[in-house]
Amino acid sequence: MTNSKWSQITISLDQLTNDRLGFVIQDEFEKIYNANSAPKKMAMFADNTVKNGDKFYFSPECYQHIKHLLSSYSGEACQVPELQNLSFIIGHSDSVAILFGKESAQEWEENLDRNNG
């Protein structure tokens, strides 16, 4: 059975800096993602608005593959995150457009270009 909701893992600033938990979670997710032949609907994002820690979001397609990761790091189901608040961490190059719609993805990329350029 697949989950139709997004999932999230929130980590504290202490876990982020001392335990380097953000890198651990990313590394574990990347291994799972690659082991499953990099599905287009499977993606990981980080929330740009979180202060004093970090929050990672996982698309619904991830759930069946990352149950142990969610369990290990107190992950929980959540609503679809706001795309404009996200950084794309791991996934297929088409993931953003597939998950949020082509128009939203183009707008998001334009905002990234403006903010980074």
Beta carbons of 38 and 92 less than 8 angstroms apart = yes
CA 65 to chain centre: 14
Cα 91 to Cα 33: distance, rounded to the nearest angstrom? 8
Q: Tokens for 78, please give them.
A: 């959540």
Q: Which residue has the tokens 């270009």?
A: 113
Is residue 69, in this structure, part of any structural domain at all?
yes
Which pTM was predicted? 0.90
Is residue 1, in this structure, part of any structural domain at all?
no
Is residue 78, in this structure, part of any structural domain at all?
yes
Is residue 12, in this structure, part of any structural domain at all?
yes
Q: How many domains does the chain have?
A: 1
pLDDT digits (tens, 9 = 90+) for 38-91: 999 999 999 988 888 899 999 999 999 999 999 999 999 999 999 999 999 999
pLDDT digits (tens, 9 = 90+) for 13-50: 888 888 889 999 999 999 999 999 999 999 999 998 88
Q: Which domain holds residue 72?
A: 6-116
Is residue 77, in this structure, part of any structural domain at all?
yes
